[in-house]
A and B are shown apart, each in its own frame.
Chain A
Amino acid sequence: MKVSYNWLQTYFDKKLPSPEKLGELLNEHAFELEGLEKTGNDAVLDLKVLPDRAHYALSHKGVASEAAAVTGLSLKPRSLASVPVDASVENVEVRVEDQKLCPRYVARRIDGVHVGDSPKWLKEGLEAIGQRSINSIVDALNFVMFDIGQPLHAFDAEKIKGAIAVRKAKKGEKITLLDGREVELLESDLLIADDEGPLVIAGVKGGKRAEVTSSTRSIIIESANFNPTAVRRTSTRANLRNDSSKRFENEITPSLAGEAMEQVTALILGLSKGAKAGAVTDSYPHPVKSWTVEIDPTYIDAVAGLSLTPKEIKSILTSLSCRVEEKGGAFLVTPPLERLDLRIPEDFADEVGRLHGYDRLQSVETPTIVHVPEDRTFYWSEKAKDALVRLGFSETLLYTLVPKGAFEISYPLASDKSALRERISPKLIESLAMNIRNADLLGLETIKIFEIGRIFPKTGEKTSLALGVALARKKKGVTAESCMKEALTALASALGVTVDGKIETTPHGSVVEIDFDAIIAKLPEKQSLEGITLVPLAKDLRYKPFSPYPYIVRDIAFFTPSGTNAAEVTSFMKEAAHTSAGSLLIKGPSLFDTFEKDGKVSYAFRMIFQSFERTLSDDEANSVMESVYGAVKSKGWHVR
């Protein structure tokens, strides 16, 4: 909600604090301040109004009530005088067929209007909060909506045939909107219609037929209250969310409709010299009554935890224009009609807490109570993870959303994310394939990964354990299957039950997937997390981003005279490689082979090159290597 500082000031006799200070106070006690922008001699505060405060705070009036509470300034009394009525102006005939969906409908005809440009103050006020000026009538309606929060509508009176009906749409009815778009209506949609058909989608959008144009001389103004759910359903379905529907969807008090009609009439009469207003027609069968909530100030204080006296609590509630009567030790609190959010004692505790300031809260420890048992799935999953990590397995957390599965998403974001995974394995195999390509970079001979997570087969959600192994290069006596068997044995001994699964072999490695719920079912409940080995990560651990480009591996082997010190050779190589490759050297040189032959020692080093900006070419790697060879040769060592 964009709020003009100058506009807000009209609610106060005394000067408001600076926009910055006011923004800070509101941010602390009422609404998150999302932006503050200076424009000319005004400032615009962008406040995040959440659904609980949207009943009253999507308006300057509502924000002013909060500004009064947070600054301690008094609101200027507003005159509620009715505008003079001219008996020569026709009354509007209104027929509300669904009072549940339209609790109030106020209408009035104004004759002799001039539809033209708005005066400077009105244009500037609307423009400050990002609204385009359209014409004097539409601007007046918008001004009142942003001022007190009541959406309004105006019809060209001459274009309306017969009475105004508030009714549900008929089957097959259509309406052409102001922007020319045609909308098909459902029988559940609420309409404003005349004898000829739909005029407006109630609370949502006006139709073309009775549009106010520059030649309009007589208008009918609507100030109504519509059911939030009905407006929301229609506006969502027809994709017509706007400032009007937003206010109705959040529910506003029907009492506002009368006040808005008086205000907008006065404004239009002021803008159109010689215009005459008729009497209002007000369909309001069940006027809303104020409600009173009994609260116990000691309970409010206990909940808020602020150590406030009843007197302080009363003064905070009074600052929000609540009426507070004392009865015994209790308070009978009557909030203003627009404060539909204040219904139960906890709502008042929130008002007291935020306005007094949660920063003044003391910290209190909770009492010690009996510890309840740990979740079995969590405990045993973590236990299994410990065992697997010890064996060299790394944990993945892969995507639940996959291309195909028994449970499908209704409106998927992308075709490869249109169902819930039935198994972990397919993604785990993809992960094996990716990681095996990076084995050198990772410094691994074997890629071993696992995941314990939820899967969604046809029978429903369950916990699954999946293991994956792939060998980067052959190693004597080691196969993917043997690694897998070793893992299953270790799991069995960590959990104390047999763990078995069918090993699947794929071109990218081996996987096994096990029903972990079935294993947990055999395991006991635990009273604490003891036994799970925390692997505390160093607090100063910093992640190093990796390059998305391919890397190049190069080896170098050379003979040195007998007795050459390995440490010395390594340190020389480090220096030489760094000098030659600079930042392209991302791993190594690492010594991977040493042997002695004919009184000479052979050393073999491996280096990995990669760029963060581009795919390295072989030529680039070759030129780096030439320079490394040069350095080695300069030592008199013989490159093999």
Chain B
Amino acid sequence: MKEESPKGHLHPVTSVIREICLIFDRMGFSVATGPELEDEFHNFDALNVPPDHPARDMQDTFWVKTKAGEPRKVLRTHTSSVQIRYMESIAKNPKPFKIIIPGKVFRNEATDTTHEAQFYQLEGLYVNRSVSMAELKGTLERFFKEFLGPETKVRFRSSYFGFVEPGIEVDVTWKGKWLEMLGAGLVHPEVIRAAGLDPKIWKGFAFGMGLDRLVMLRYGVDDIRHLYSGDLRLINQF
């Protein structure tokens, strides 16, 4: 047998995360992370998704058992919980910041070739004294042009996520078609308040997208489950 190639392979999800982080790095964003096992406050309440609100149905949650007397926990359903944690961490001495948050998230749903109980998201948050939708568009447009190619177009559509207002869905052109790619908006004043900042002073924009579908579309991966089975027949192709 020939000498094996001495180099190993990064997982394609890691490669895509790196590529995206480096593009945002050039726009002044730094990477932030947070726990995967979250409390309800950071995953829901602080994000303006109150208990018993229909918006909680939008995400099927894995609840994790805790000891009697301890508040129950969840496997985070989105990386948005890290937005709250980051704002809390600077609340005593707030300054403008731009962060990008890659990470593993979980949804309690049946799995098939396009759905998994675990997958990866990437979230962005920019906080300053004045922030506009036009800046959100400028940021996302530049990102997608660098990531997908200079001909890429970006379109905003009205939508709803409890933690932003206005809330939008972002479509981008992909091989001649519009593709729903990301949710975004201006950070809801209640979210800024819940994280300990004054919403009269501090404004922000946030966006979040799933990475698995992006990896699958870009490289033609036919089954999301192959990404997490530790199978080098997939990993070593990247």
Contacts of B117 on A, CB cut-off 8 Å?
399, 401, 413, 417
Q: Let me know if B65 and A407 touch, CB within 8 A.
A: yes
A543 vs chain B, min Cβ distance (A): 4
A556 within 8 Å of B (CB atoms): no
Q: How distant is A226 from chain B, measured CB to nearest CB, in Å?
A: 13
Q: In the complex, A161→B154 CA distance in Å?
A: 63
Q: Are A385 and B52 in contact (CB under 8 A)?
A: no
Q: Are B189 and A346 in contact (CB under 8 A)?
A: yes
Query: Is B30 touching A537 in the complex (CB atoms < 8 A)?
Result: no
Chain B residues with Cβ under 8 A from A366's Cβ?
A: 27-28, 98, 126, 128, 131, 135, 138-139
Chain A residues with CB under 8 Å of B21's CB are 529
Per the bound structure, the CA–CA distance linking A392 and B96 in Å amounts to 41
Which chain B residues numbered 185 to 238 have a C-beta less than 8 Å away from chain A? 186, 188-189, 203, 218-222, 227-238
Interface string of B84-117 (1 = CB under 8 A from A): 0000000000011111001010101111000001
B174 at the interface (CB under 8 A from A): no
- From A22-30, A170-178, A214-222, A270-278, the one touching the partner chain is A22-30
For B135, list chain A residues within 8 Å (CB).
305, 364-366
A407 partner residues in chain B, CB cutoff 8 A: 37, 64-65, 73
Q: A407 — nearest CB in chain B belongs to which residue?
A: B64
- Judging by beta carbons under 8 Å apart, are A27 and B219 in contact? no
Check B142 against A365 for contact (C-beta < 8 Å). yes
Partner of B130, one of A302, A363, A397, A460: A302
Interface residues on A, range: 35 or more
Closest CB-CB distance, B168 to chain A, in whole Å? 6
Partner-contacting stretch, out of A287-295, A438-446, A629-637: A438-446
**Which among A88-96, A371-379, A557-565 touches the partner chain?**
A371-379
Secondary structure type dominating chain B contacts = mixed
Within 8-27 of B, Cβ neighbours of A (below 8 Å) are at 8-16, 18-19, 21-22, 25, 27
Within the complex, the shortest CB–CB distance from B143 to chain A, in Å, comes to: 11
Question: Is there an interface contact between B54 and A305, defined as CB atoms closer than 8 Å?
Answer: no
Give the residue name and chain of the A residue nearest to B169 (CB).
A32
A584 to B15, CA, bound (A): 32
Are B221 and A543 touching (Cβ within 8 A)? yes
- Nearest neighbor of B14 in chain A, beta-carbon distance: A395
Chain A residues within an 8 Å CB radius of B158: 28-30, 350, 353-354, 358
B151 to chain A, nearest CB (A): 13
CB of A516 within 8 Å of the partner chain: no
A434 within 8 A of B: yes
Stretch at the interface among A120-128, A198-206, A425-433, A502-510: A425-433
Alpha-carbon distance A354/B63, docked complex (angstroms): 36
Q: Give chain A nearest CB distance to B103 CB in angstroms.
A: 9
Q: Check B54 against A51 for contact (C-beta < 8 Å).
A: yes
Encode A353-394 as 1/0 by CB contact (under 8 A) with B.
110001101111111111111110111001001001111111
Contacting pair B137 A305 (CB below 8 A)? yes
Question: Given known contacts A411-B108, A454-B36, is B189 in contact with A449 (CB within 8 Å)?
Answer: no
A610 to B141, CA, bound (A): 45
Q: Give chain A nearest CB distance to B36 CB in angstroms.
A: 5
Judge whether A544 is part of the interface by a CB distance below 8 angstroms. Answer: yes
In B52-94, the 8 Å CB interface with A consists of 52-55, 58, 62-65, 72-73, 75
B109 contacts across to A, CB distance below 8 A: 413
Contact of B8 among A382, A388, A400, A428 (CB under 8 A): A388
Across-interface contacts of A27 in B (CB, < 8 A): 157
Are A535 and B10 CB-contacts (below 8 A) given A399-B118, A438-B232? Answer: yes
Point out the residue from A233, A303, A431, A545 that lies within 8 Å of B52, measured CB to CB.
A233
Q: Do the beta carbons of B22 and A409 come within 8 Å of each other? A: no
**Does A153 lie at the interface of the complex (its beta carbon under 8 Å from any beta carbon of B)?**
no
- Give chain B residues whose Cβ lies under 8 Å from the Cβ of A302: 130, 132
What is the 8 Å Cβ interface bit string for chain A, positions 57-68, against chain B (1 contact, 0 not)?
Answer: 000000000000
Q: Which residues of B contact A346 (CB under 8 A)?
A: 165-166, 186, 188-189
Q: Are A385 and B232 in contact (CB under 8 A)?
A: no
How many chain B residues touch A (CB < 8 A): the figure is 103
A590 within 8 A of B: yes
Task: Given A51-B160, A375-B30, A400-B106, answer yes or no on A442-B233 (Cβ-Cβ < 8 Å).
Answer: yes
Given A397-B11, A407-B37, A541-B238, verify A365-B138 contact (CB < 8 Å). Answer: yes
- Chain A residues 427 to 485 lying within 8 A of chain B, measured CB to CB, are 427-428, 430-431, 434-435, 438, 441-449, 453-454, 456, 460-461
CB distance from A31 to the nearest CB of B (A): 8
Interface residue? B182 (CB, 8 A): no
Cross-chain contact A537 with B230 (CB below 8 angstroms): no
Q: Are B137 and A364 in contact (CB under 8 A)?
A: yes
Is A86's CB within 8 Å of the partner chain B?
no
Q: Which residue of A lies closest to B232 (CB)?
A: A435
Contact of B230 among A354, A365, A371, A396 (CB under 8 A): A396
**CB proximity to B under 8 Å, residues A536-588:** 536-537, 539, 541-546
Which single residue of chain B is at the shortest CB-CB distance from A592?
A: B1
Which residue of chain A has the shortest Cβ distance to B38 in the bound complex? A461
Q: Is the CB of A370 within 8 A of B1?
A: no
Contact check, A528 vs B106: say whether CB atoms are below 8 A apart: no
Residues from chain A with a CB closer than 8 A to the CB of B37 are 407, 420, 454, 456, 460-461
Asked whether A431 lies within 8 Å of B231 as measured between CB atoms, the reply is yes
Complex Cα–Cα for A50 and B134 (A): 24
Question: B8 contacts A411, CB within 8 Å?
Answer: no
Chain A positions within 8 Å of B231 at CB level: 431, 434-435, 546
CA distance A408 to B5 in the complex (A): 41
Give chain B residues whose Cβ lies under 8 Å from the Cβ of A453: 104
Is B6 located at the chain interface by the 8 A CB criterion?
yes
Name the A residues within 8 Å of B10 (CB-CB): 385, 389, 394-395, 535
> What residues on B are CB-neighbors of A354 within 8 Å?
158, 166
Q: How far is the CB of B219 from chain A (nearest CB, A)?
A: 4
Contact B30 A410 (CB under 8 A): no
Interface pairs A-B: 8 shortest CB-CB:
A305-B134, A431-B230, A350-B166, A358-B156, A354-B158, A50-B160, A305-B132, A363-B138
Q: List 6 A-B contacts (CB under 8 A).
A: A350-B166, A354-B158, A378-B33, A431-B231, A529-B25, A536-B19
Given A394-B11, A420-B64, 7 other A-B contacts at CB below 8 A? Answer: A229-B52, A353-B158, A373-B30, A401-B117, A444-B232, A543-B221, A544-B237
A interface with B by C-beta (< 8 Å): 27-30, 32, 50-54, 228-229, 232-233, 246, 249-250, 302-306, 344, 346-347, 349-350, 353-354, 358-359, 361-375, 377-379, 382, 385, 388-401, 407-411, 413, 417, 420, 427-428, 430-431, 434-435, 438, 441-449, 453-454, 456, 460-461, 528-529, 532, 534-537, 539, 541-546, 590-592, 606
